[in-house]
A and B are shown apart, each in its own frame.
Chain A
Amino acid sequence: MRLIVMLMLACALGQTVGAEPAHGPLVVATWGGVYERSQRAAYFDPYTEATGTPIQTASYSGGLGTLRKRVQGPGDWDVIDMTMADHRRACAEGLLQSYSGEGLMPAPDGTPAERDFIRSAITPCGVAHNLFSTVVAFDEDFFRYTAQPHRIEHLFDTERFPGKRALHKRPDALLEWALLSYGVPVGDLYDLLSTERGLNLAFKRLDEIREHIVWWESPEEAVELLRREDVTFAMGYNGRFFDAAVVQNEPVRIIWDAQVYEFETWGIPRNAAHPERARQFIGYATRTQSLARQTRYIAYGPTRASAIRRVGKHASTGVDMRAHMPSHPLHMERAIRKDVDWYAHTRQHLNERFQVWLAAGDAQ
């Protein structure tokens, strides 16, 4: 079995690379921290081993601003790991090359990639490779002797649950949580956020905690702020909180209620210097084995059925990873599937509204 896979891989690698210079590393723009370490262990290093091409990472922390600038200059990024919402917008703006699933490997049992990947994972510009979730975590020590927060409403209840809140300085997930705290059903969330009234309500809720907010820009800060006990709540990505809590044994606990889940997606910038090798790399990084191996390092759910079945234990602690995946049934009760189509079309409007709201706070 293993031999067959190796042979197939060799074939795939052999046929795609040829036209472009084989020297120099492949540059992958990704998110840093624990996440990047998990990628390195799961498929960066194995890829280098298999092909001889070293992987060099570039720091990327969301949004389209940097990418827009990058594609003007010389092609120094070959592959970029973006959230689905940003990915779709970048694709629509023509910042990414078109992609139709070429180079994707079938599952070990022979199931073709198109059937093995979950629905809508393959986009016109790339392929979704893992499911991650934006959640709120809290300092377990701080709430050790009182009631522990367990619903998203508690983020906005500074009387019962005091302390600073570390939040990502962008509207994503914040708007959802703020409106959800009025008791709106998840199914209606984006319909209601699509009205001026809904946005006003959401910002009104955020207003109530404005003076308790500490803004962060890069995902590692969220964990750091919580660890330093600068804040009692922090929003961030579930994988990083998992790392802090389970691997580093910090008193950090995730509130799974109202988690906002989304997909990380591979894409190739328009001006990539090594587009062929980038495609080859994506094929390798999204193999069943690669995705399954990544779940041994970080609690992000794979996007192919064959890899989901292979989720096992954490590499160093031996913890069963299935219980820490965003897709665990217990975590899905009031989970919000991020409406990436909505975000792709409303990003500018939302950012403007968010800036106005931020400015209103500074003026006070």
Chain B
Amino acid sequence: MASWLNSKLAGGISVGRRALAVSTRGLIMGGVASLAALGFVAAIQWLNDLFWVSPRSRMMATDWPWLPLATIAVLVCGGLIVGLIARYLLPGGQAHGPPEVIETAQDGSNDVDLRTGAGSALSALTSLGAGASVGQYGPLVHLGATMGSLVGRIMPSGQGNAAGLIGIGCGVAAAIATAFSAPIAGVLFAHEVVLRQYSLRAFAPITVAATIGFVLASYVFEHEPLFRIPGAPRVEPAEYGAFILIGIGGAVVATGFMRAILAADELAERTPIPPVLRPATAGALLGILAIWIPDILGIGQQVLRFTIIPEAFGTIELAVLLVAKILATALCLGFGFVGGVFSPALLIGALFGALTGHAAVVLVPGAADSASVYAICGLAAVTSPVIGGPITTILIVFELTRNYVLTTAVMVSVVFANLVSYRIFGRSMFDEVLRRRGCDLSLGRDELMLSHRSIGPHISHEYVHVHPGETIAEARHRIAAADETEGHVIDAEGYYHGTVTLAGLTRAQDDTAAADDDVMSLARHADAILDSNANIWSALAEAEQGTARELPVLDEEGRMIGVIERQQLVGVYRRALFGIRREEHAAP
């Protein structure tokens, strides 16, 4: 009896300790990431007030004739700083964002570099502070991932590499939960967009992290949510048809937006402007454009608020702003300002939605009462294809508006938007950026994970070494003695000259009785030869050819390093797949 009780008690204590460990990790990772996010947002606000980016500070400087020039100067200086940070501070000269976070989580390295993270955050802060037309959520996600990963490295876990992954997930979830005051959306964003799996082991700490982010943002710092919809809009049944059309139109707008950014990126590469000066150039252009359209400056939170007020814009004005914001964002991101695509997508989508609202008033019965619904549907329809997170987008809207009717409408738009945009563009802006870099996630993470693993550890040096000048009989004898079926011809300098098979040698000896001929006459280059820098994925593709049991591995100059057995590659592949599945189904 006592021993039964003891074992139950010990089990209970172990479960309790486990639960405590999971929640402590989530709490610390989420807390750190959330505080970083709040600090980041507050710093942007402060800089915007200081440098005449926020409408309030611009209005208070309204008597000042130099305001347009000051805006241009701030953007040019901000651009210069961003260019210099990229040149001298960031490894690789490139700031990182959500695509890199996704790549890190998918390729299994699970470790965000602190220096890159800090440098990226700094350049994003400069870009956003100076009023560039870029988003703040991308940098927040990267900052969250950096913080989570950092805490994961410091805290002991006993989970090895997976701790880094959970750290990234916690950081990302906390950042989104903090920025939008939307904990559920934070959890789903981490799983849907970054981790792309729903294991229970990751789910528990990520939920804790998102919740602490929400609590800190809403109750401790009383951070205002992005927008709230007053009252309950009425939606007529016929309008659901319109929401489908908004979804399809939103996909087209989102695709146009993403293509514009990629095109601006290519354009920047082709201009003679050196990379250090590119952001400053974009800043100057944006500043000049802002003389006529100040709404394109910065994150555009105020413009976003206005889109849900039906009377705020004229139809032409909406169309002009929509195009201007797309161009301004493409210009800034393509020419090297650092920031996200998330907030511009929200604004562009809301402008598009408001525009369709204007059309719907004429075309759809009952639409006049629900103008704000159109703006929000447009917002979601454009945002979800850009970030590749339909469920996240739906939940962000739900948590921000806490409105059931609106969320249902948004759901319709979002699924159609993703359907269409997946066909005409791809899963998301992030995946497209990665694909262009040679990292295709469209079929899951197997390829990415295997292509990040070198064949190095699997190279064997146990093979039959045949010397040029050896006779066929000698070679055959040695191969048979080693109980092998193949031998590799390697000269005195180590260069590979071909492979001979036991069967080939035997046949040659029988047919012509030329047992004393040089073995070189039978040596053939193997059908599949691996480079020593090859990864498992390319080795697998290479191994599809030929039938030889061993694949020779050569260095760049053609010297023999060793061999890999075909069968071993299959084993590695099986273990990798098993590892991925285990991670995706891991229990806490």
Contacts and interface: CB of A to CB of B under 8 A. Distances in A.
B59 A201 contact: no
Interface in A54-108: none
B59 to A, nearest CB: 4
A342 interface: yes
A192 B306 contact: yes
Interface in A157-216: 182-185, 187-188, 190-195, 197-198, 201, 204
Interface in B277-323: 294-295, 301-302, 305-306, 309, 311-313
A220 B313 CA distance: 39
A201 B309 contact: yes
A341 B57 CA distance: 11
Contact of B59 (A183, A188, A195): A195
Interface string B29-66: 00000000000000000000000001110111111000
B357 to A, nearest CB: 15
A183 B305 CA distance: 10
B56 A185 contact: no
Contacts of A355: none
B265 to A, nearest CB: 31
Contact of B309 (A184, A341, A345): A184
Interface residues of A, number: 22
Interface centre among A184, A195, A198 (most CB of B within 10 A): A195
Given A187-B224, A342-B59, A182 B309 contact: yes
B230 A183 contact: yes
A327 B462 CA distance: 86
Contacts of B302: 188, 191-192, 194-195, 198
Contact of B60 (A185, A195, A346): A346
B63 A201 contact: no
B228 interface: yes
Contacts of B546: none
Given A195-B302, A197-B306, A197-B312, A342 B56 contact: yes
B224 A185 contact: yes
A35 B83 CA distance: 60
A2 interface: no
Contacts of A341: 60
A192 B304 CA distance: 10
Nearest to A190: B56
A197 B313 contact: yes
A348 interface: yes
B315 to A, nearest CB: 14
Contacts of A198: 55, 302, 306
Contact of B305 (A188, A204, A345): A188
A184 B60 contact: no
A119 interface: no
B92 interface: no
Contact of A345 (B55, B60, B311, B312): B60
A349 interface: yes
B311 A204 contact: yes
Interface in B40-99: 54-56, 58-63
Contact of A201 (B54, B58, B311): B311
Contacts of B228: 185
Nearest to A349: B62
Contacts of B62: 345-346, 349
B438 interface: no
Nearest to B224: A187
Contacts of B309: 182-184, 201
B230 A349 contact: no
Contacts of A194: 54-56, 58-60, 302
A349 B55 contact: no
Contacts of A346: 59-60, 62
Contact of A348 (B58, B61, B63): B63
B272 interface: no
A187 B218 CA distance: 14
Contacts of B306: 192, 195, 197-198, 201
Contact of B55 (A185, A187, A191, A348): A191
Nearest to B313: A197
Interface string A26-52: 000000000000000000000000000
A192 B55 CA distance: 7
B59 A182 contact: no
A194 B302 CA distance: 9
B298 to A, nearest CB: 12
B237 interface: no
Contacts of A183: 229-231, 309
Contacts of B312: 182, 197, 201
6 contacts: A191-B56, A194-B56, A201-B306, A342-B59, A345-B62, A349-B62
Given A182-B311, A345-B61, 19 more contacts: A183-B229, A183-B230, A183-B309, A191-B56, A192-B306, A194-B56, A194-B58, A194-B60, A195-B55, A195-B59, A195-B295, A197-B312, A198-B306, A201-B311, A341-B60, A342-B59, A345-B62, A346-B59, A349-B59
Q: What 9 pairs across the A-B complex have the smallest Cβ distances?
A: A183-B230, A194-B59, A345-B60, A194-B55, A194-B56, A187-B224, A195-B55, A182-B309, A349-B62
Interface of A: 182-185, 187-188, 190-195, 197-198, 201, 204, 341-342, 345-346, 348-349
